[in-house]
Each structure stands twice: as structure tokens, then as C-alpha cells.
């Protein structure tokens, strides 16, 4: 398995499969491992080179000495791209790892990061309940807050892979990491505002695609469609899924969306629910 020797003595490990001029950099969210992409990697590797990374202190990657923050993780991701020799890369991020995708674009520019793919990111103002969970994760009641978050994500989900990820894998993550995640997610929203506001401030913006399933409300989709009207480089697709992990639940649709974006066939992408999706509202 390829690895990068990073700051603090950490070794960052990743998968490197497939071939192609443009590499996909698959970035998990906090407190999850790279295997949330296990169904997506072989599908994407048919047409692209795929770099699928474990974040520092997660999965097969080491934490190194001392505390670390979002800036450290960004440095790790840059090191993976540079060590791998990837000249052009498309970050494919899950949830709040989208902030790292934006930072990669800011660091490398549109020539090296021509596109961004976001999976199930809360791109509008976080609701009070979400902010309360983040505060809870940084308190003595962190376990209760974690369980509330994960059971909310498990609601209505029948896919065994997803349930195992939520109820087994993510529950094995330490209190320290959950608190760090909450601290860094809160700091990212404070620093950047909502993801849509952060996207609006980009200069010479890349083509961006948001593939999501939740929240399953009409106003959430409409706000993104309205944003797309003013920022035509932004595309959104509501997926016919029920979970926050579309890379496990509907990997064929996610791979198809990525392929359409990278190949430039955006005219064939739908904004809004794809065929067969349940009506919204």
C-alpha cells in the first residue's frame, strides 16, 4: 500500500488504482475510513486513476505525535497528490471533507484541480440541532451526542454495509477524535460560512457537482438550484437514496455523475431528482 511520510512522524496510507490523465482523490469525512468508498473505487477505476486516502489517525493511517487540525490534514492530502505524481486531480469529498476539497483548489488552482465533487454535504446553514450535536461531542456527554448523530444517519437505512459503518466502524472511533472532529468542523463553518457562500467567493471557480440524498426536502434542493442559476459552474443532483453515504448506497449513480463531470458531458446531467426518484416536498 502506498504511503506518505508526513509531519509528526505520521504515515498516511492510500490506495492507488486505475489509470487516467486526471486522478480522483477520494476523501472520507472525519471519523470514517476510506472503505466508505469500497463500492465506488472499482467503478471509478474503470476510467480514472483513483487515490483513496485514510485521513491521519483513521483506518490504516497513523496519527503521529500530538494534536492536529484541519490544516494538518490538508498538508497530508497535498503530500499524497505530490508524492503520487498526480498532475490533475478531482477531489471527491464526503460531507465536511468538502472544506478540504475547497482548500485544495485554493492551493493548487484550476489547472491542477479542474473539478470538485461533493457527496452529501450540508451546503446551507446548519440547523440548530446539528450545532448542538457538535457542542455535545466536545463535552462530557460526547457518547450520547455521537449516538444521536449516528442513529439519525441510520434512520430508514436498510443497507447492511452502511449500518455496519455507522453502528460498528464509527463507534470504534475514540472520544478524542470525535471531539477533534467537532472542533474542526465548527471552526470550518465559522471561518468559511456555509459551503455555498464559500463556493461563491472562489475566483475562477472549477466545475463543481453536489450529489446528495439528505436532507430530503424540497427547499434544500431549490436553494441549490437557485445558487446554480447564478453560478452556472455549480451542478446539483438529488439521488434516489435514503442515507448520508451515497458512495455505498448508490455507487453506480455516483460513478456516473463523476464520469459525466470529468468527461465534460455536463449537458447530460440533470439538476434535481433523477428519473425514478421520489417526488420532493
Count of CB atoms situated within 10 Å of the CB of 136: 19
User: In Å, what is the CA distance from 254 to each residue of 8, 100, 133, 237, 250?
Assistant: 35, 20, 28, 10, 6
CA 182 to chain centre: 16
Q: Which residues contact 224 (CB under 8 A, 6 or more apart)?
A: 123, 124, 196, 210, 234, 236
Q: Give the domain extent around 73.
A: 3-125+193-268
**153 found inside a domain:** no
**279 found inside a domain:** no
User: In Å, what is the CA distance from 8 to each residue of 62, 66, 183, 224?
Assistant: 10, 7, 20, 40
User: Tens digit of pLDDT per residue, the chain (281 long)?
Assistant: 999 999 999 999 999 999 999 999 999 999 999 999 999 999 999 999 999 999 999 999 999 999 999 999 999 999 999 999 999 999 999 999 999 999 999 999 999 999 999 999 999 999 999 999 999 999 999 999 999 999 999 999 999 999 999 999 999 999 999 999 999 999 999 999 999 999 999 988 899 999 999 999 999 999 999 999 999 999 999 999 999 999 999 999 999 999 999 988 654 444 444 433 433 32
Sheet harboring 11-17: ordered strands across? 3-5, 11-17, 49-53, 22-27, 88-94, 115-119, 207-212, 234-238
In this predicted structure, what is the pLDDT of residue 265? 64
CA dihedral in degrees (222, 223, 226, 228; nearest 10)? -100
Total of domains in the chain:
1
Positions marked catalytic: 244
CA 57 to chain centre: 17
- Alpha carbon distance 280, 262 (integer Å): 28
**159 found inside a domain:** no
- Alpha carbon distance 238, 261 (integer Å): 15
12-23 in b/e form (b: 16+ CB < 10 A) is bbbbbebebebb
φ, ψ (nearest 5 deg) of residue 7:
-65, 155
Closest CA to 51 of 11, 97, 18: 18
**110 found inside a domain:** yes
**146 found inside a domain:** no
pTM for the full predicted model: 0.93
135 SS3 class = helix
Cis peptide upstream of residue 59 (ω within 30 degrees of 0): no
**86 found inside a domain:** yes
Closest CA to 29 of 120, 90, 131: 120
Closest CA to 141 of 150, 153, 132: 132
**105 found inside a domain:** yes
C-alpha cell at 7: 509531519
CATH number where 35 lies? 3.40.50.1820
Q: Are 183 and 138 in contact (CB under 8 A)?
A: yes
In this predicted structure, what is the pLDDT of residue 267? 43
Closest CA to 181 of 71, 30, 59: 30
Q: Are 88 and 181 in contact (CB under 8 A)?
A: no
**142 found inside a domain:** no
Amino acid at each position: 500500500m502506498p504511503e506518505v511520510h508526513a509531519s509528526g512522524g505520521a504515515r498516511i496510507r492510500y490506495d492507488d488504482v486505475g489509470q487516467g490523465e486526471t486522478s480522483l482523490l477520494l476523501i472520507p469525512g472525519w471519523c470514517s475510513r476510506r472503505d466508505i468508498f469500497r463500492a465506488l473505487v472499482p467503478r471509478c477505476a474503470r476510467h480514472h486513476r483513483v487515490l483513496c486516502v485514510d485521513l491521519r489517525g483513521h483506518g490504516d493511517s497513523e496519527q503521529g505525535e500530538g494534536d492536529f487540525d484541519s490544516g494538518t490534514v490538508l498538508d497530508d492530502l497535498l503530500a499524497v497528490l505530490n508524492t503520487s505524481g498526480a498532475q490533475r486531480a478531482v477531489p471527491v469529498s464526503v460531507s465536511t471533507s468538502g472544506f478540504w476539497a475547497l482548500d485544495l483548489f485554493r492551493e493548487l488552482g484550476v489547472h491542477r484541480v479542474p473539478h470538485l465533487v461533493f457527496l452529501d454535504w450540508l451546503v446551507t446553514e446548519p440547523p440548530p440541532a446539528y450545532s448542538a450535536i457538535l457542542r455535545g461531542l466536545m463535552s462530557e456527554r460526547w457518547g450520547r451526542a455521537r449516538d444521536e448523530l449516528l442513529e439519525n444517519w441510520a434512520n430508514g437505512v436498510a443497507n447492511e454495509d452502511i449500518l455496519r459503518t455507522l453502528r460498528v466502524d464509527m463507534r470504534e472511533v475514540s472520544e478524542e477524535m470525535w471531539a477533534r472532529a467537532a472542533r474542526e468542523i465548527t471552526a470550518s463553518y465559522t471561518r468559511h460560512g456555509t459551503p455555498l457562500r464559500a463556493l461563491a467567493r472562489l475566483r475562477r471557480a472549477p466545475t463543481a457537482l453536489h450529489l446528495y440524498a439528505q436532507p430530503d426536502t424540497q427547499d434544500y434542493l431549490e436553494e441549490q438550484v437557485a445558487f446554480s442559476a447564478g453560478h452556472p459552474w455549480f451542478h446539483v443532483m438529488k439521488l434516489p437514496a435514503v442515507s448520508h453515504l451515497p458512495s455505498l448506497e448508490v455507487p453506480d449513480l455516483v460513478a456516473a455523475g463523476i464520469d459525466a463531470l470529468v468527461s465534460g458531458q455536463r449537458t447530460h446531467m440533470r439538476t434535481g431528482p433523477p428519473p425514478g426518484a421520489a417526488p420532493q416536498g
